[in-house]
Amino acid sequence: MVCIPFRRDDYKHIENVFGYRVQHTLTMGPTKGGIRYHEDVSLGEVSALAMWMTWKCALMQLPFGGAKGGVRIDPTDLSRSELQRLTRRYTMEIINVIGPDRDIPAPDMGTNEQTMAWIMDTYSQQVGRTVREVVTGKPVVLGGSLGRSEATGRGLVFLACKAAEYLNMKMSDCSAVVQGFGNVGSNAAKCLAENGAKIVGISDVSCGLHNPDGLNVAALLKHVAEHRVLKGFPGATEVTNRELLELDCDILAPCALQNQITEENASRLKCRILAEGANGPTTLEADRILQDKGVFVLPDIHGNAGGVTVSYFEWVQDTQNLSWTLEEINDRLHKIMTEAFQRTLTRAQRDGLDMRTAALIEGISRVAEAKLLRGLFP
């Protein structure tokens, strides 16, 4: 936990904000996890996300432990130069705990490839040589991987397709609702549409949109590029966040915030597949209700693991000075995501578990085995 003083653009004003970096377990190798800039970031939130990263990496059989970091600030309130100063100072505050063989940050909510470029540059300046592999999610020109920015949404849709296949549903007959239109939500919507699903509902911070005849994702992206938010998009009815989640659909993909599907609304969900792109969107009580309703859940630690998987590809490429094509990356991502799906499904069926518990046990058992094999020092 660090205190980060940085200068605002009016030179006399110095802002002090809190930053965090939590490494959950060092057993599996270096730790890996995003850095978020958000006004609600806290030690508890970052710790939870770090723990989930551990299970996620283990489930995908990546050689990482989990980590997460964040700065409690609203990044939309800062200019580009203020963001750069904040990022460089935060990097300096945590420089002794990060590194390509120690802890590798990545983008998360409120940060992007530019933030990663500043972290990489600050770290490299300190060690005296360019260390591209200290962060992932960088711009491609600085050693970033092709396909990284859309990886989380794409990975989620790979899983949704597998789940539909398992449930004997054709993607071309499926309707989908996506909550969130940021990096994960917009790419998930795009990939769902590419796979033939009809997007009947979508939302962002400004509003929810519903059209039972389908929403054109390309037109949505164009509207957001021009107006910043979905509000005002023609040809759709505005709905509230609660109404959006309860829309009639085959696939519901919460890709925005935690704690969205609760005891209060779970019984009213009408989807057959719940594909979790966000972290922690469903409470434990809601999980039980969904299981009783027969909703097939693709849990968050699996659903949004596409991001860290392609981050791993980026780290491997940087470490070995290799460049993989987009086709190679998507093929490898598909293989890793679907193999983890099969392992989880097999465990769920064999032990009579729900998919979330099966995925968690897959991840936890791998870490526990590694911990026991390493033994206890001294």
Partner 1 sequence: MTIAPVTTAQANVEWDSPMFRLAQQQFLRAAQIMDLDENVKLRLL
| Tokens coding 252 | 């519901």
- Which of 5, 13, 42, 268 touches partner 1 (CB under 8 A)? 42
47 binds partner 1 (CB under 8 A): yes
51 binds partner 1 (CB under 8 A): yes
- Which of 49, 192, 274, 305 touches partner 1 (CB under 8 A)? 49
286 binds partner 1 (CB under 8 A): no
Q: Which single residue is written with the structure tokens 């870490």?
A: 367
Whether 198 is a known active-site residue: answer no
DSSP symbol at 187: H
Reported residue count of the chain is 378
Choose among 35, 137, 42: nearest CA to 94: 35
| Tokens coding 345 | 């499904």
Residue numbers 253-282 binding partner 1 by CB under 8 A: 258-259, 279-280
Nearer to partner 1, 47 or 130 (CB): 47
- Which of 14, 141, 218, 284 touches partner 1 (CB under 8 A)? 284
Three-state SS sequence of 52-92: HHHHHHHHCCCCCEEEEEEEECCHHHCCHHHHHHHHHHHHH
203 binds partner 1 (CB under 8 A): no
How many alpha carbons lie under 13 Å from residue 129 in its C-beta half-sphere? 4
- What are phi and psi for residue 114, nearest 5 degrees? -65, -40
283 binds partner 1 (CB under 8 A): yes
Number of Cβ atoms within 10 Å of the Cβ of 27? 18
Stretch of residues binding partner 1 (CB under 8 A), selected from 37-45, 112-120, 197-205, 313-321: 37-45
356 binds partner 1 (CB under 8 A): yes
Nearer to partner 1, 294 or 352 (CB): 352
Whole-number Å distance between alpha carbons of 147 and 44: 31
Q: How far apart are the first and last CA of the chain?
A: 28
Nearer to partner 1, 218 or 373 (CB): 373
Closest distance to partner 1 from the beta carbon of 144 (Å): 29
Choose among 241, 115, 125, 235: nearest CA to 185: 241
240 binds partner 1 (CB under 8 A): no
Whole-number Å distance between alpha carbons of 46 and 113: 20
2 binds partner 1 (CB under 8 A): no
How many alpha carbons lie under 13 Å from residue 78 in its C-beta half-sphere? 25
Residue numbers 358-377 binding partner 1 by CB under 8 A: 360-361, 364-365, 367-368, 371-372
357 binds partner 1 (CB under 8 A): yes
Task: Name, in order, each residue with C-beta under 8 angstroms of 352's C-beta and a sequence gap of 6 or more.
Answer: none
Closest distance to partner 1 from the beta carbon of 52 (Å): 6
Nearer to partner 1, 24 or 132 (CB): 24
- What are phi and psi for residue 231, nearest 5 degrees? -50, 135
Nearer to partner 1, 225 or 376 (CB): 376
Fill in the amino acid letter for 373.
Answer: L
56 binds partner 1 (CB under 8 A): no
In the set 68, 138, 162, 198, the catalytic residue is 68
Closest distance to partner 1 from the beta carbon of 145 (Å): 28
Alpha carbon distances (Å) from 264 to 202, 212, 239, 241, 250: 21, 25, 18, 14, 21
| Tokens coding 167 | 């449930």
Nearer to partner 1, 325 or 365 (CB): 365
Nearer to partner 1, 52 or 233 (CB): 52
Give the binding site for partner 1 (CB under 8 A): 25, 42-45, 47-49, 51-52, 54-55, 258-259, 279-280, 283-284, 351, 353, 356-357, 360-361, 364-365, 367-368, 371-372
Residues with catalytic annotation?
Answer: 68
